[in-house]
């Protein structure tokens, strides 16, 4: 069994409640964020974040300042409990994210769940010869490109990474993915999670798709693409749904009729009411990133 907690174009909106790229740049330099928004249609996103990090540090902001800012990002009790439960069950948890390794390590360490993660696949971070924190693409420009037909980001095809991970962990457990004993739970919300979701098998795998985010918007505009997702689908508005369903799924007590796939359920209404009440475990700030994801989209 394997749990893949997968993010959209950042570490955000699936495990955490904000976009880590937006959170970092806009909070540390709103003026720089305006420049990022102007450049986003011209520069590949990971390259743009590398440029922005260099600019931040040229302004005198340090690597420690960036890490301390990331410690304040909202992280819900519900998602923390999901990760701790999976660790207790000895289920491998893989983060497949289009953020970067520095951000991910800083956030997960600050909330005490870094040891819940088995593997992280993301854009590398490094320190350059000037001592600056930098990031680079997971798939470098000068390397063979993934050429995915599903409009995946140039730096990372989550579908191909999903294929690799399934093969790796099926060998570890001495099981084939077609074996019903090998179950994959996958959670995501961004358009670039679509490709990975098409790799899930019917009946036994499960996809937790967040409503009202990039992937939901994409499927509403391209409803024919929904047919490529063959697994069980659990729609969720808040992490409470993931916390409720994930243990049942791995216990074998979850039944598809408990959550309507590809449609609205009564649970959605409850979640809409719950969304106003959702609290964060380690964040007491009421900071909001206004219009930020609109710029990034």
In this model, does residue 7 exceed pLDDT 70? no
Name the residue with tokens 């191909």: 160
pLDDT at position 2? 61
Q: Indicate left, alpha or beta for 13 from its phi (over 0: left) and psi (-120 to 50: alpha).
A: left
pLDDT at 181: 81
78-96 per-residue burial string, b: 16 or more CB within 10 A, e: under 16: bbbbbbebbbeeebbbbbb
Q: pTM of the full predicted structure? A: 0.82
pLDDT at 156 over 70: yes
What integer pLDDT is reported at residue 17 of this predicted model?
60
Angle between helices 63-70 and 45-58 (to 10 degrees): 120
Domain that holds residue 128: 2-296
pLDDT of residue 297: 56
Helix (H, G, I), strand (E, B) or coil at 240: helix
What pLDDT was estimated at residue 257? 60
pLDDT bracket for residue 271 (50, 70, 90): very low
| Rounded to 5°, angle at Cα 182 from 179 and 186 | 130
The radius of gyration of the chain's CA atoms, rounded to the nearest angstrom, is: 19
Domain total for the chain?
Answer: 1
Of residues 265 and 232, more confidently modeled: 232
Query: CB neighbours (10 Å) of residue 148?
Result: 16
pLDDT of residue 289: 38
Question: Residue 18: which CATH number?
Answer: 3.40.50.1000
Mean pLDDT of 186-214: 91
Measure the CA–CA gap between 110 and 138, rounded to whole angstroms.
24
Q: Is the pLDDT of residue 278 over 60?
A: no
Assess whether pLDDT exceeds 50 at residue 261: no
Highest-confidence segment of 11-15, 27-31, 199-203, 209-213 = 27-31
Structure tokens at 137: 């693409």
Residue 103 in contact with residue 77, Cβ under 8 Å? Answer: no
**How many angstroms separate the Cα of 52 from the Cα of each of 45, 65, 245?**
10, 14, 39
User: Above 90 in pLDDT, residue 66?
Assistant: yes
Kindly state the average pLDDT of the residues 112-127: 95
The pLDDT value recorded for residue 15 is 60
For 203-255, write each residue's pLDDT tens digit: 889 999 999 988 999 999 999 999 999 999 999 998 899 999 999 999 988 88
Torsion angle, CA of 216/220/225/228, rounded to 10 degrees? 50
Query: 11 pLDDT exceeds 90?
Result: no
Distance (Å, whole) CA 137 – CA 115: 25
Mean pLDDT on 42-55: 96
Rounded (10°) CA dihedral 265, 83, 104, 191: -20
pLDDT higher than 50, residue 111 = yes
Classify the phi-psi angles of 147: left when phi > 0, otherwise alpha if psi is within -120 to 50, otherwise beta.
left
Cβ 93 vs Cβ 6: under 8 Å: no
């Amino acid at each position: 069994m394997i749990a893949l907690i997968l993010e959209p174009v950042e570490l955000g909106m699936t495990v955490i409640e904000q976009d880590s790229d937006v959170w970092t740049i806009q909070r540390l330099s709103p003026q720089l964020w305006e420049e990022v928004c102007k450049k986003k249609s011209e520069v590949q996103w990971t390259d743009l974040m590398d440029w922005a990090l260099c600019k931040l540090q040229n302004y005198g902001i340090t690597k420690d300042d960036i890490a301390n800012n990331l410690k304040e990002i909202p992280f819900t009790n519900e998602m923390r409990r999901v990760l701790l439960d999976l660790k207790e069950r000895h289920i491998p948890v893989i983060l497949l994210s289009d953020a970067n390794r520095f951000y991910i390590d800083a956030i997960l360490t600050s909330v005490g769940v870094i040891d819940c993660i088995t593997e992280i696949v993301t854009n590398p971070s490094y320190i350059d010869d000037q001592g600056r924190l930098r990031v680079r693409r997971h798939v470098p420009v000068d390397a063979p490109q993934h050429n995915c037909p599903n409009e995946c980001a140039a730096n990372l095809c989550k579908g191909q990474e999903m294929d690799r991970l399934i093969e790796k962990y099926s060998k570890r457990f001495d099981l084939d993915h077609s074996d019903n004993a090998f179950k994959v739970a996958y959670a995501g919300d961004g358009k670039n999670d679509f490709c990975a979701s098409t790799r899930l098998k019917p009946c036994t795998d499960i996809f937790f798709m967040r409503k009202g985010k990039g992937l939901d918007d994409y499927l509403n505009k391209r409803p024919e693409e929904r047919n490529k997702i063959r697994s069980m689908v659990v729609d969720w508005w808040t992490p409470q749904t993931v916390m409720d369903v994930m243990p049942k799924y791995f216990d074998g007590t979850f039944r598809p009729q408990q959550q309507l796939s590809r449609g609205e359920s009564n649970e959605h209404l409850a979640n809409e009411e719950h969304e106003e009440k959702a609290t964060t475990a380690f964040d007491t700030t009421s900071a909001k990133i206004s219009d930020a994801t609109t710029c990034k989209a």
